[in-house]
Amino acid sequence: MQNILGFPRAVYNFFVGDPILLTGTLAFFILIGALARTGLARAPLALGAILILGILATLGLSLWRETQPHKS
């Protein structure tokens, strides 16, 4: 099992190595992709603002986790 997971784990550690950064970034890009198919497509600046705020929120959450004494 460890051998099977070895490669994906190495790729994950190489690219990001932080579950919050990975899920947060992907979640906001997927959200923007979904919103871009709705009426919001006519307001690209609003989509851009949501993307920037999402990225900042992800970074903030990841930094907050670092301040917790018993982070896993």
Partner 1 sequence: MHLLLALFTPDWGVATAAFLASTVEFVEAFTIVLVVGVTINWRSSFLGAALAALTLAVLVAIFGVTLVKFIPLSALRLIVGIILVMFGMKWMKKALLRYSGRKALHDEEAIYEEEQRALKARGVVIPQKIDGFGVATSFKSVLLEGLEVAFIVVTFGLTGSSHAANKSSSLVSAVIGAVVAGLLVVALGALVRAPLTRIPENTLKFVVGIMLTSFGTFWGGEGLGIDWPRQDLFLLPLIAIYLLASYGAIQWLRVPAKPQAAIPAAQE
9 Rama sector, left if φ>0, alpha if ψ -120 to 50, beta otherwise: alpha
Q: CB 9 → partner 1: shortest distance, Å?
A: 15
Which of 5, 15, 19, 27 touches partner 1 (CB under 8 A)? 15
* In the chain, alpha helices (H): 2-15, 19-35, 44-67
Considering the complex, state which of residue 5 and residue 44 has its C-beta at the smaller distance from partner 1: 44
DSSP class of residue 38? S
Is there binding between residue 26 and partner 1 (CB under 8 A)? yes
- Residues in contact with partner 1, total (CB under 8 A)? 29
Is there binding between residue 6 and partner 1 (CB under 8 A)? no
